[in-house]
């Protein structure tokens, strides 16, 4: 679309209307005849289901007309000049790098950092501890079917990061134009174009697997390298500046610029960085369970009589509550029509997560049901104490599940009564390795179970049926976000204590999802680009 100049908001059509009515209403709003409208495209679509008996799609539309200034001069309601949302590449620095930059980790932050560096001629070298996505899928399926875990390639580690095995949700509350660059790059790599305008866009794990491969191939085509099964086990320092990284197996790469985008589960690498002088701060995060309901219940609760309509798909929710003990309780990473999946990355420790395919057509809806925890809960003032807090919960969950990666589970009704569950009800748990019914009050400290009970009751008032007796709670969801933040300078984005290290993404404590992690990766790449010119060495 060429030279879009006008944005028209609040175009509403009924669920039963054809999409063609959008054009009709745009012409009416702008007081134009059809031949005066050169082109149009949807910039945003959302759903308004607030009134019973009525459901509308609400659109913001960008249009090209013959005389934009004439239309804008009319000062029509909900009509404005379209802002410039095109990504602007940074200006390169003057000092040439001595060596090619290294990106550690190939999740969203590392992937988009490497993409920007490659697009600007910096030929990054990406080191990913896990496998390429096709091999990674085989390792994960082996775990889900046989309980045989590969600690270096699993739901947490490998091409695309943890987001590759999730719902592929692309919503973010970060207001940053780099987010548009992330979405456009995903579309170029094969994502559906509707992610550019849907209010709650998602891709799904099945499509993401192909998309991440295509982004990898683009980075390589531009002179970058992506090396799998390359776990970084050491960081070489000289006078407070990084000068290289050690890779498992003995190889050493010399470099003075490293983007550390290792995700929230690379605990061994956190310790390596800490021992190398990179400063950390413990931060609050949240832990809890995965809760499963019939997807039809969520559809009816959200869409009422329109539930099941072909234009709607599976309904979502997002719920928050402040418990009586002052802790926040909220749902996170909701997966409509999805699965609860085994997500461990360390042997003898059990972790759950949620995942949906693009169609979102599984029987259950699931979401993390989380309670805030704070550094004072961790039992130590060590900056990495949150990691050990997670590990203790995961080890306990592993034992309660039978020490074979079955997950401990409980029905909501029993949880509210504080009694162990004995049998399942109408909801069949989707966790692939099976569940063991128990009493989750024995897994969590009382301040968490008390807050969860408050949250369940509050959420049932907000979303009718959320507190149904036989909804299933499966533990433990312990990796909702990073328990640490790597301290970095707000301008250079480098570590406060080690120059040349750029902490990035969710694991570093600066993001909370695919898009926000991608944005942060781009920001770190830009900071590096603005400081240095590309290395001339091959």
- The topology (CATH level 3) of 6-81 is Alpha-Beta Plaits (3.30.70)
Q: What is the pLDDT of residue 49?
A: 87
Q: List, for the chain, all residue ranges whose pLDDT scores fall below the cut of 50.
A: 1-2
Torsion of CA 273, 278, 283, 286, to 10 degrees: -20
As a whole number of Å, the end-to-end CA separation of the chain is 39
Q: What is the pLDDT of residue 269?
A: 97
pLDDT at 2: 45
pLDDT at 289: 98
Q: For 95-280+491-533, which CATH class? A: alpha beta
**Fold match, 6-81 / 95-280+491-533:** no
Looking at residue 538, what is its pLDDT? 67
What is the reported pLDDT for 1?
A: 44
Q: What is the pLDDT of residue 3?
A: 55
Residue 353: phi and psi, rounded to 5, are: -155, 180
> Which residues make Cβ contacts (< 8 Å) with residue 345, sequence separation at least 6?
149, 151, 154, 155, 156, 157, 265, 351
Is the torsion defined by CA of 161, 488, 286, 320 positive or negative? negative
The CA-CA-CA angle for residues 106, 112, 527, to 5°, reads 115
- Cα–Cα distance between 484 and 332 in angstroms, integer? 19
Give residue 432's pLDDT. 97
DSSP code of residue 498:
S
3-state secondary structure of 360: coil
pLDDT per residue over 224-250, tens digit each?
Answer: 999 999 999 999 999 999 999 999 988
pLDDT digits (tens, 9 = 90+) for 333-387: 999 999 999 999 999 999 999 999 999 999 999 999 999 999 999 999 999 999 9
Model pLDDT, residue 67: 86
Domain boundaries along the sequence of the chain: 6-81, 95-280+491-533, 284-477
């Amino acid at each position: 679309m060429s030279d879009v100049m006008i944005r028209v908001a609040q175009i509403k059509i009924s669920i039963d209307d054809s999409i063609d009515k959008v054009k009709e209403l745009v012409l009416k709003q702008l007081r134009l005849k059809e031949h005066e409208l050169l082109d149009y495209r949807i910039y945003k679509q959302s759903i308004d289901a607030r009134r019973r008996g009525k459901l509308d799609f609400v659109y913001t539309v960008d249009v090209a007309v013959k005389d934009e200034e004439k239309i804008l001069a009319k000062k029509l309601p909900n009509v404005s000049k379209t802002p410039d949302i095109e990504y602007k590449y940074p200006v390169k620095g003057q000092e040439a790098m001595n060596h090619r930059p290294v990106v550690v980790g190939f999740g969203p932050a590392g992937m988009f950092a490497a993409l920007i560096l490659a697009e600007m001629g910096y030929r990054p070298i990406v080191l990913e501890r896990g496998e390429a996505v096709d091999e990674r899928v085989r390792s994960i399926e082996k775990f889900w079917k046989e309980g045989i875990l590969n600690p270096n390639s699993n739901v947490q580690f490998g091409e695309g990061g943890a987001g590759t095995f999730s719902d592929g949700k692309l919503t973010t509350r970060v207001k940053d134009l780099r987010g548009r660059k992330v979405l456009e790059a995903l579309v170029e790599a094969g994502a559906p174009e509707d992610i550019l305008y849907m209010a709650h866009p998602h891709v799904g794990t099945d499509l993401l697997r192909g998309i991440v491969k295509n982004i990898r191939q683009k980075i390589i085509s531009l002179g970058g390298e992506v090396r799998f099964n390359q776990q970084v086990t050491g960081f070489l320092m000289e006078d407070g500046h990084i000068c290289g990284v050690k890779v498992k197996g003995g190889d050493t790469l010399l470099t003075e610029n490293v983007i550390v985008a290792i995700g929230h589960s690379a605990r061994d690498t956190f310790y390596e960085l800490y021992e190398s002088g990179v400063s950390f701060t413990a931060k609050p995060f949240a832990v809890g369970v995965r809760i499963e309901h019939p997807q039809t219940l969520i559809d009816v609760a959200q869409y009422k009589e329109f539930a099941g309509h072909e234009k709607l798909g599976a309904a979502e929710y997002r719920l928050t509550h402040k418990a009586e003990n002052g802790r926040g309780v909220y749902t996170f990473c909701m997966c409509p029509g999805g699965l609860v999946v085994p997500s461990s990355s360390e042997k003898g420790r059990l972790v759950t997560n949620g995942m949906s395919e693009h169609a979102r057509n599984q029987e259950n809806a699931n979401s993390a049901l989380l309670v805030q925890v704070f550094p004072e809960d961790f039992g130590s003032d060590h900056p990495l104490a949150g990691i050990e807090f997670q590990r203790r919960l995961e080890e306990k969950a592993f034992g309660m599940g039978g020490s074979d990666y079955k997950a401990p589970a409980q029905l909501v009704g029993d949880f509210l009564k504080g009694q162990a569950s004995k049998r399942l009800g109408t909801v069949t748990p989707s966790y692939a390795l099976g569940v063991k019914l128990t009493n989750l009050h024995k897994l969590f400290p009382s301040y968490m179970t008390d807050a969860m009970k408050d949250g369940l009751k509050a959420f049932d008032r907000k979303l009718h049926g959320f507190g149904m007796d036989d909804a299933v709670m499966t533990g433990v969801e312990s990796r909702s976000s990073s328990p640490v933040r790597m301290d970095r300078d707000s301008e250079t984005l480098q570590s406060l204590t080690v120059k040349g290290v750029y902490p990035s993404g969710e694991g570093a404590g600066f993001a909370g999802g695919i898009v926000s992690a991608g944005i942060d990766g781009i920001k770190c790449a830009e900071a590096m680009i603005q400081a240095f010119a590309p290395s001339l060495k091959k």
